[in-house]
Amino acid sequence: MRKTYFPAGWDESRIQQVLDHYEAQSDDEAVVEDEAAYESTTHTAVEVPIDLVPEVRELMAKHKAS
């Protein structure tokens, strides 16, 4: 049997809470939540070529550390 690993700060209970939230969400609520994600004034979504992802992650880690 394979051991289950969770990201730092996550456990089975937290994952179940997230699943419950999204499974109970109506289509309209999901759309509102998705659209709100793009209204952030501190983050953005960009398309990055796969071969540049490691470099982008490194830049983000350096930025976060500063």
User: What are the residues whose beta carbons fall under 8 Å from the beta carbon of 64, sequence distance 6 or more?
Assistant: none
Question: What 3 state SS string does 17-43 have?
Answer: HHHHHHHHCCHHHHHHHHHHHCCCCCC
pLDDT at 3: 83
Which position has the higher pLDDT, 51 or 4? 51
pLDDT in tens, 9-55: 999 999 999 999 999 999 999 999 999 888 878 888 889 999 999 99
Q: What is the DSSP letter of 2?
A: P
Per domain, the residue ranges of the chain are 12-65
Asked if pLDDT for residue 1 goes beyond 80, the answer is: no
Q: What is the DSSP letter of 52?
A: G
Tokens of 51: 């071969």
Tokens of 34: 């998705």
pLDDT at 60: 93
Which position has the higher pLDDT, 30 or 7? 30
- Average confidence (pLDDT) over 46-66: 95
